[in-house]
Amino acid sequence: GPALLFVKTSQGKEEGRRFYACSACRDRKDCNFFQWEDEKVSETRLAAREEYNRNHQPSFTHRQNVDRYKNFFLLPLSKRRFCQECQQLLLPAEWERHSDHQFLCNITTAQLKSPSQLLYPLENKKTNAQYLFADRSCKFLLNLLVDLGFRRVLSVGTPRLHEMIQLKASQEEEFSVRSLLLDIDFRYSQFYTEDEFCHYNMFNHHFFGGEVARETCKKFLYEENGERVIMVTDPPFGGLVEALASSFKKLMAMWSETEKEGHGNKEMPMFWIFPYFFESRILDFFPSFSMMDYQVDYDNHALYKHGKTGRRQSPVRIFTNLTPSMIVLPEEEGYRFCTACQRYVSSGNQHCEICNSCTSKDGRRWKHCALCKKCVKPSWFHCSNCNCCTLEKHSCEKNDVGCFVCGKAGHKRSACPSLSHT
């Protein structure tokens, strides 16, 4: 889809030079598209680009994949193979071509209904960063949605949540929740129909399936028979917040347009799952959002295991435009309701009488600094040189522009300690 317009700023200069680069790949190794905004591109280069794009299309269209799935489904167990190298379901006629590839045999229907277990997670840090929900977190999210009365979930970059909904809907008759998955990972088109999955780029709001796919999404957002919709998204953490926010606003607008009378000035309900240190960035774009204390856990994120297991705690939270008091967090996992704040908080999150708020962001008990007039991390001290609270070990004179991620001085976005897990 469309590239994004970036700006290269050099220190001290007001205006930098603007250029286009790939919206989805933050790493030039994955996609080396680069073009100065004012650059003249020759016909030959344009033609070469188009040629390159043609040669890099997926081997099957979504439609073809849907047909292939139907055929695959009819095969006896012994003939159901999945090529691990190509990440593709194989029909018997294709075995030959994949004969020197690793493959899995006897693919069961249960496996077909859990593609997120069958496919390997794309762990490329900067581009896909596929971190799958731990079962507990996924169940928690789903129960929460159901308890809040939602019957439709727009799953944007949440294949595992989508999968759990689909699975439950196929097993339990009284379970009437539906989900539409929007994701850039085209491998999922092998397992879901065009009404269940749209190939989508959340950094530029691009539907690869064109107008038809856009209509599918729009139709899904139309709340027939009072079936309320919520959007749940869990973007890669290296993603640009402004690009994501711009796409999410377009999805919200799509929802608003579905209602002739309009939804008044209501927003489409949303859960944006993201690390807590992005709080101020998200609130810049969505002032109606608040951050919940719930720690979202992942399967393949070694550092993100729940505190109780003795590992580091997850920094990932739920940002939502729903009323915080409605988001009930599980007491058995150590959350409690703060009546003053009217929301559920971590057990370690103490209500500060001076701030009149439960101020901890990371679940540990924070302390109030009278000089800073706010609560700060337990490990921080007030430095009279810098006139603020910071780590005890720091160099006072460092006074450069703050990090893009956490806003602190002394390091760049790429070296941000908040992101050290990746």
Q: What are the structure tokens assigned to 142, written together?
A: 């789903």
**Secondary structure (3-state) at 303:** helix
Handedness of CA 12, 13, 19, 24 (dihedral sign): positive
Residue 274 site contact among Zn ion, ligand SAH, none (CB < 5 to 8 Å, cut-off depends on kind): none
Alpha carbons 170 and 150: distance in angstroms, whole number: 18
User: What DSSP state is assigned to residue 314?
Assistant: P
Contact 231, 270 (CB under 8 A): yes
Under rule CB under 6 A, residue 314 binds ligand SAH:
no
Q: Which stretch in 106-114, 197-205, 208-216, 400-408 sits in contact with ligand SAH by CB under 6 A?
A: 197-205
Under rule CB under 5 A, residue 368 binds Zn ion:
yes
Under rule CB under 5 A, residue 123 binds Zn ion:
no
Residue 351 site contact among Zn ion, ligand SAH, none (CB < 5 to 8 Å, cut-off depends on kind): Zn ion
Under rule CB under 6 A, residue 180 binds ligand SAH:
no
First and final C-alpha spacing in the chain: 26
Q: How far is CA 263 from CA 48, 152, 179, 222, 258, in A?
A: 47, 17, 21, 11, 9
By CB under 6 A, name the one of 72, 82, 150, 200 that touches ligand SAH.
Answer: 200
> Could you give the string, one character per residue 327-346, with x where binding to Zn ion holds by CB under 5 A and - elsewhere?
-----------x-xx-----
Task: Provide the residue type at 26 as one letter.
Answer: R
Closer to ligand SAH at the Cβ: 66 or 318?
A: 318
Alpha carbons 329 and 342: distance in angstroms, whole number: 12
Q: Exposed, middle or buried: residue 125 (CB in 10 Å: 0-12, 13-18, 19+)? A: middle
Under rule CB under 6 A, residue 128 binds ligand SAH:
yes
Under rule CB under 5 A, residue 351 binds Zn ion:
yes
* CB 133 to ligand SAH: min, Å: 4
Contact 118, 132 (CB under 8 A): no
Closer to ligand SAH at the Cβ: 126 or 263?
A: 126
Question: Nearest to residue 236, comparing CAs of 272, 271, 268?
Answer: 272
Give every CB contact of residue 32 below 8 A, 6+ residues apart in sequence: none
Closer to ligand SAH at the Cβ: 184 or 329?
A: 184
Under rule CB under 5 A, residue 85 binds Zn ion:
yes
> Could you give the string, one character per residue 221-240, with x where binding to ligand SAH holds by CB under 6 A and - elsewhere?
-------------xxx----
Q: What are the structure tokens assigned to 155, written together?
A: 């799953």
* Count of residues touching Zn ion (by CB under 5 A): 20
Q: List % helix, strand, coil for the chain (3-state, nearest 5).
A: 30, 20, 45
Hey, how many other C-beta atoms are within 10 angstroms of the C-beta on 214?
Answer: 16
Under rule CB under 6 A, residue 191 binds ligand SAH:
no
Residue 282 site contact among Zn ion, ligand SAH, none (CB < 5 to 8 Å, cut-off depends on kind): none
Phi, psi of 182 (to 5 degrees): -110, 120
Which DSSP helix (H) or strand (E) runs through 255?
A: helix 241-257
Closer to Zn ion at the Cβ: 351 or 421?
A: 351
Closer to ligand SAH at the Cβ: 235 or 349?
A: 235
> Could you give the string, one character per residue 137-176, with x where binding to ligand SAH holds by CB under 6 A and - elsewhere?
--------------------xxxxx---------------
By CB under 5 A, name the one of 98, 312, 408, 411 that touches Zn ion.
Answer: 98
Residue 419 has, within 13 A of its CA and on its CB side, a CA count of 22
Binding site for ligand SAH (CB under 6 A): 24, 128-133, 157-161, 183-185, 200-203, 234-236
Binding site for Zn ion (CB under 5 A): 83, 85-86, 98, 101, 338, 340-341, 351-352, 354-355, 358, 368-369, 371-372, 375, 382, 389
